[in-house]
Amino acid sequence: MQKTWYAKLFGALMSVLVLAGCSSTPDDPYADKRDPFEDMNRVVWDFNQDVDEAVIKPTAEVYENIPAPVRHSLYRAFENLQEPWSFVNNILQGKPKDAGVTVGRFFFNSTIGLLGLLDPATEMGLTKREESLGETLALWGVPDGPYLMLPLLGPTVLIDRGTDWVDGNYFPYTEVDSDWDIPRYTVKGLELRLRLREQEQVLENALDPYTFVKEAYFQNWRYNVYDGNPPQEPAEDFEDFEDF
């Protein structure tokens, strides 16, 4: 399968990160160890905010003029393509029941659901069991890797977005021309942008929007990895204060 545009973009970004890491300054003891590229990430954050204000938000507002049933059908159709990779990752995570649900969802939504434009599976009680390779690796104990703010794509950690190319090589993606990647990501991105409008005021009121988004990302990431039941994180180490 021809290498997709986002895989090429991610490869280029990884090269930049390697170079940035080679020239990094000594660790700041007070820095967030999850975010070793914070200076660069903040530059990308500012870039994303500018692009959002100038292009993405206005485009999403135009996109909203499309009747909601049509928009939602397009979104569901692209989401339906992800069921096979959810099946594989549910198997890898030792959840055969959830894997069976994803098979049922893909079958019913691809047939009587007209290739995913409709969602009869949910009406049958087969609710979404979405999983990714990144979540599987995290559940197995593989380190997240550094926090990254990607141009246009937003926040992620290395094993999250960095494994998308693997998930994107399952059927039916292997049968779909890579030219469909752009409309797929456009529809999903614009739909997500419309949903994020409810959070705009919260973000504007945050003391540091960059940090707010980072913490929200990690909270959501752990929630997804552990299916809504993340283990309690270890308490902060206060040994340095014992002498006070």
pLDDT tens-place string over residues 132-180: 999 999 999 999 999 999 999 999 999 999 888 888 777 777 777 677 7
Amino acid sitting at position 101: V
Q: What is the pLDDT of residue 234?
A: 65
Q: What is the mean pLDDT of residues 46-67?
A: 97
Cβ(78)–Cβ(184) under 8 Å? Answer: yes
Judged against a pLDDT cut of 70, whether residue 21 lies above it is answered with no
pTM of the predicted model as reported, rounded to 2 decimal places: 0.82
Secondary structure class of 156 (helix, strand, coil): strand
What's the rounded Cα separation, in Å, for the pair 153 and 75?
A: 17
What integer pLDDT is reported at residue 14 of this predicted model? 55
DSSP state, residue 26? P
State the average pLDDT for the chain.
Answer: 86
Query: Residue 184: which of 105, 89, 78 has the closest Cα?
Result: 78
- pLDDT in the model for residue 17: 53
Cα–Cα distances (Å) from 197 to 30, 70, 107, 193, 203, in that order, read 33, 20, 33, 7, 10
Does the pLDDT value for residue 20 go beyond 50? no
Write down the pLDDT at residue 169.
Answer: 78
**Both tokens assigned to 31:** 């820095």
- The percent of residues above 70 in pLDDT, for the chain, comes to 84
Per-residue pLDDT tens for 93-118? 999 999 999 999 999 999 999 999 99
